[in-house]
Amino acid sequence: MMINYNKINFKKSSTLFISGQYPDGKFYIINKGKVIFESYFADNFKYEHKKGDIIGIVSAVMNEPYFSTSKVIEDTEVIEIDVREIEKIDNVELMNKIYKHLINTMEVWVKKYYYFLYKYSKVDSSEKLNITYICKSYIDKGFLYAAIKIYENNQEKINDKNVVNKISKIEPIESPKEITKGVFSFKKGSCLFEETSQNNYIYFVKSGIVGVYSYFNHKPVTRMKYYDNDIFGYKDLLGKKVIANTAIVLEDSIIKIMDKKEFENMIIEDKATRVYLIKMMSARVYNTIARIKAININNVILKILTVIEGLIKLDLMFKKTNYIALFYTIDDILSMVFIDHTDYVEREIKKIKSIKITDEKNIVISNINNFFKEYQIYFKRNSDKINNEDFGDDI
């Protein structure tokens, strides 16, 4: 099916859009020319887009302000497409182009996220990853079957007797059972794939919860949690082959496992899945950027609220509600921005009026409108404080 589009020309030194500006439901494909993006919130990080590249799709899909300013560095022609036209696309090559763009964008911002984690935590980023430490961190977290997989794939690199001894004492978990073709039942604690391995599949969660983690400074950091009807693994399959994530089944789950061909057939045949994936991938980029912003905030409460705000907006993309019970715990949130759960942090958390923490440490937002109001109050206070510091005695 043909999609509608417009061609627009921009002269050198003009601006396509600026950071903080709301999109008009449009994204762009560069037909000729070059555009450079500047992200002031990320140490003025700059990156360049050229012919064939897609720009502005994350903000357009999320209906959130642009997080970068785009400057035209040579005369440029772009194809302007309304995000609603995505539903009409039935060309595998074009869909894969959009997915790969979103994956590449994700990888760019994940690298920046870890750059700021290293910077904030003062951890030496040049230090080579120690597989023994990675294995031990998953044991300490209670993710025993992830530790077993990491050990089995790296036995020659793990020589710590205590770690090997702990691994040898872990009772085997029940193997997944195939319910129907390609659909499996997994027991809580099962590990779907682990860091340093190669993932060749895409996973569709029919029921249950799967947590995805990455090792950082002796701890598994929570990346995402997937539950009913979520799809993941596409980043690893369509992007780089060696993965840096570990996927763990957090409760008994039923999961459909697909290879690349089956996945491509599904997104072409199923319009809802096609739209869902672009929304989900855009939301993942948005959440990663939110975490970068949170790391660079000094106020503990605003750090926490900024991460939660991204997770709420992810949920709101797929349902209309004023109540959300997140599958994330407060410890998940703190790990994302490298905060230890100290007595001081506990006191600060109790000051947040719009969230409730259950006995299992999960986060509940009973009134999303009130949450956003509280978030804006802390955001404005933080902005005013920064402005006062910038202008000093002139204020």
Give residue 122's region: left, alpha or beta (phi > 0; psi -120 to 50): left
Whether 199 is covered by a domain: the verdict is yes
| pLDDT, position 392 | 39
The reply to whether 149 and 228 lie within a common domain is yes
Among all chains, which residue has been given the structure tokens 């995505």? 86
Among all chains, which residue has been given the structure tokens 């600026």? 18
CB 72 within 8 A of CB 15: yes
| pLDDT, position 217 | 87
Domain edge (last residue) among 40, 58, 90: 90
Phi, psi angle pair for 63, to nearest 5°: 55, 45
Provide the β-strand partners of residue 209: 251
14 three-state secondary structure = coil
DSSP-derived secondary structure for 73-130: EEEEEEEEEEGGGGGG---HHHHHHHHHHHHHHHHHHHHHHHHHHHHHHT--TTSPP-
- Residue 375 burial class via C-beta count within 10 angstroms: exposed 0-12, middle 13-18, buried 19 and up: buried
Percent residues over pLDDT 90 in the chain: 65
Q: Residue 187 sits in which domain range?
A: 131-258
Whether 13 is covered by a domain: the verdict is yes
Angle, CA of 58, 59 and 62, to the nearest 5°: 85
Whether 285 is covered by a domain: the verdict is no
Q: Which among 107, 111, 80, 100 is positioned nearest to 277, based on CA atoms?
A: 100
The reply to whether 208 and 136 lie within a common domain is yes
38 three-state secondary structure = strand
Whether 115 is covered by a domain: the verdict is no
How do residues 122-141 score in pLDDT, each as one tens digit?
887 777 888 999 999 999 99
Task: Give pLDDT tens digits along the chain (395 positions).
Answer: 578 889 999 999 999 999 999 998 999 999 999 999 999 888 889 989 999 999 999 999 999 999 999 999 999 999 999 998 888 877 777 888 888 889 889 889 998 999 998 888 888 777 788 899 999 999 999 999 999 999 998 988 888 899 999 999 999 899 999 999 999 999 999 999 998 787 789 999 999 999 999 998 889 999 999 998 899 886 655 455 455 789 999 999 999 999 988 888 887 788 788 888 889 999 999 999 999 999 999 999 999 999 999 999 999 988 899 999 999 999 999 999 989 889 999 999 999 999 999 999 999 999 999 999 999 999 988 775 544 444 333 32
| Intra-chain end-to-end CA distance of the chain, in Å | 58
| pLDDT, position 185 | 98
| pLDDT, position 55 | 93
pTM for the predicted model, two decimal places = 0.87
Whether 11 is covered by a domain: the verdict is yes
The reply to whether 144 and 79 lie within a common domain is no
Among all chains, which residue has been given the structure tokens 């660079």? 296
The reply to whether 240 and 315 lie within a common domain is no
| pLDDT, position 109 | 93
Distance in angstroms (rounded) separating the CA atoms of residues 356 and 363: 6
Q: Which two tokens stand for residue 395?
A: 């204020």
The reply to whether 252 and 357 lie within a common domain is no
The reply to whether 352 and 245 lie within a common domain is no
Distance in angstroms (rounded) separating the CA atoms of residues 57 and 79: 12
| pLDDT, position 234 | 66
| pLDDT, position 327 | 93
**C-alpha distances in angstroms, 259 versus 42, 144, 182, 204?**
36, 27, 10, 11
| pLDDT, position 390 | 44
Angle, CA of 278, 279 and 285, to the nearest 5°: 90
The reply to whether 137 and 254 lie within a common domain is yes
Q: Which two tokens stand for residue 54?
A: 């897609």
Question: Tell me, what CATH number does 333's domain have?
Answer: 1.10.10
| Burial 176-202, CB ≥16 within 10 A → b, else e | beeeeeeebbbeebbbbbbbbbebebb
| pLDDT, position 97 | 84
Whether 284 is covered by a domain: the verdict is no
Whether 71 is covered by a domain: the verdict is yes
The reply to whether 301 and 251 lie within a common domain is no
The reply to whether 155 and 213 lie within a common domain is yes
**C-alpha distances in angstroms, 174 versus 169, 187, 210?**
16, 7, 17
Distance in angstroms (rounded) separating the CA atoms of residues 361 and 113: 25
Q: Which two tokens stand for residue 182?
A: 């390609």
- Give the number of other CB atoms < 10 A from CB of residue 368: 17
Whether 114 is covered by a domain: the verdict is no
Count of domains observed in the chain: 3
The reply to whether 191 and 302 lie within a common domain is no
Distance in angstroms (rounded) separating the CA atoms of residues 93 and 98: 9
Distance in angstroms (rounded) separating the CA atoms of residues 107 and 104: 5
The reply to whether 228 and 341 lie within a common domain is no
How do residues 6-43 score in pLDDT, each as one tens digit?
999 999 999 999 999 999 899 999 999 999 999 988 88
CB 268 within 8 A of CB 95: yes
The reply to whether 151 and 59 lie within a common domain is no
Question: Tell me, what CATH number does 208's domain have?
Answer: 2.60.120.10
| pLDDT, position 382 | 78
